[in-house]
Structure 1
C-alpha cells in the first residue's frame, strides 16, 4: 500500500471519531522520517484516545503494521507511527501550543477533502 492510500485510511479513521481540523502535511522531500504527518485534535482526553484507537484498529484491519504509539495514557498528544504516515492526535489545547503546521511550514498542507480526493 502506498503512503497516499495509508494517509486516506488514517484520515478516515480520525473523521469517523469526529476529530477536528484534520490536515495532512506532505513531508516528502522535507523529512527523512515519514512521507506524511496527519494532524487532528479532539475536544477532551477521552476523544483523543478514541481517535487513536480507531486509527490503530483501521490499520490492523487493513494489514498495516503500527510501529509505535506514544502518549496513550495521558490523551493529550498521541502519536501513532504507521511508518509512511505519522498521526499526531492532539487535545485541542496541546495542538494550539505545539502548532506543528507552523513548525513544518514548508510542507504542502491538505485538508480532509484534499486527502480524500488525492
Structure 2
C-alpha cells in the first residue's frame, strides 16, 4: 500500500464513522516526525475511541500496524503513529484546547474534499 493510499484510507475511514473536521497536513518539510498529520475529533470520548479503533482495524486488515498507540485514560486524545502518517483523534473540547492545527500552521493543508462525503 502506498503512502497516498494509506492516507486516503485513513481519511475515508474517519469520515465513514462520522469523524468531525477531518484535516490532513503535510509536514514532511518541517519535521522528521512524519510526513502527514491527520487530525479529527469525535463528539464524545466513546466516539473518539471508535474512530481510532476503526482506523487501526482497517489498516490492520491490510497488514499495517501502528508503531505506537498512545491515549489518555479518558480517551480525550488518541494518537496512532504509523511512522509516515500520525493520526490525532481528539474529543472536541480537547482539540480546541491543544489547537494542533495552529502549531503546524506552516504545514501544507491537503485538499481532502474528494475523499469525504459532503
Cα RMSD, aligned residues only = 1.6
- The reply on whether 1:99 has 2:95 as its aligned counterpart is no
- Shift, 1:107, TM fit: 0.3
Residue in 1 that maps onto 2:87: 87
Q: Runs in 1 of length 4+ with deviation above 4 angstroms?
A: none
Residues 49, 72 of structure 1: 8 Å contact kept? no
Structure with the largest fraction of helix: 1
Residues 3, 36 of structure 1: 8 Å contact kept? no
SS in 2 for 1:112: coil
Q: TM-score, normalised by structure 1?
A: 0.91
Q: Which stretch has the larger CA shift, 25-34 or 66-75?
A: 66-75
Residues 48, 90 of structure 1: 8 Å contact kept? yes
SS in 1 for 2:51: helix
Q: Which stretch has the larger CA shift, 51-60 or 1-10?
A: 1-10
Residues 22, 41 of structure 1: 8 Å contact kept? yes
Residue in 1 that maps onto 2:11: 11
SS in 1 for 2:110: strand
SS in 2 for 1:46: helix
SS in 1 for 2:63: coil
Residue in 2 that maps onto 1:40: 40
SS in 2 for 1:10: helix
Q: TM-score, normalised by structure 2?
A: 0.91
Structure 2, unaligned stretches of length 5 or more? none
- Shift, 1:110, TM fit: 2.2
Structure 1, unaligned stretches of length 5 or more? none
- Shift, 1:19, TM fit: 0.3
Q: Count residues with an aligned counterpart.
A: 116
